Amino acid sequence: MVVAVETTRFHVLAVDDSFIDRKLIERLLKTSSYHVTAVDSGTKALEFLGLAEDHNHDEETNSSKIAPSNQHHQDVDVNLIITDYSMPGMSGYELLRKIKESKSFKDIPVVIMSSENVPSRINRCLEEGAEEFFLKPVQLSDVRKLRPHLIKEKSTRN
């Protein structure tokens, strides 16, 4: 039963611009005993992780004035990021690259989801460091594939 206790400590950042898809992945992850933070854009994911660039837009500059949420990310230990591929503003592929280029989050497993089965897109994401590529709608069987990546990530960080 130690494994069940451990899984409740895993924190997944879910990124999807579709409200319905975001709620579905959030429910599947929570059903599997993960702690979930869900955001609707790559920019918000980077803000949550503390990787946002303040010079992009005036809106981001205004949102960066909210000190408590910007400070909060320092205390949060994200163990996996699951993101939609097709999102306005920043694609899941661009988010993947920014995470893999960062010093503090480059080892965190990233999983890409898409409703489009495009082999070249899937290969490009996997070559850039994505652990998995799930076709939507994501199923509980897909979520079960996350556990080995989470356990591997946790053991490399300890």
Identify the domain containing residue 129 by its residue range.
2-157
Give the per-residue pLDDT at 98.
96
Give the per-residue pLDDT at 158.
58
Residue 127, Ramachandran bin (φ over 0: left; ψ between -120 and 50: alpha; else beta): alpha
The CATH number of the domain where 126 resides is what?
Answer: 3.40.50.2300
Q: Where are the alpha helices (DSSP H) in 52-146?
A: 58-63, 67-72, 92-101, 119-127, 140-144
Distance CA 93, CA 109 (A): 13
- Give the mean pLDDT of 105-114: 96
**Nearest to residue 18, comparing CAs of 74, 88, 72?**
88
- pTM value is 0.81
- Give the mean pLDDT of 100-119: 95
Give the per-residue pLDDT at 122.
97
Strands 35-39 and 80-84 come out as unpaired
From 43-52, 64-73, 98-107, 139-148, the region with the lowest mean pLDDT: 64-73
Tens of pLDDT along 64-102? 333 333 334 445 689 999 999 999 999 999 999 999 999
Counted domains in the chain = 1
**Sole residue written with tokens 């503390």:** 50
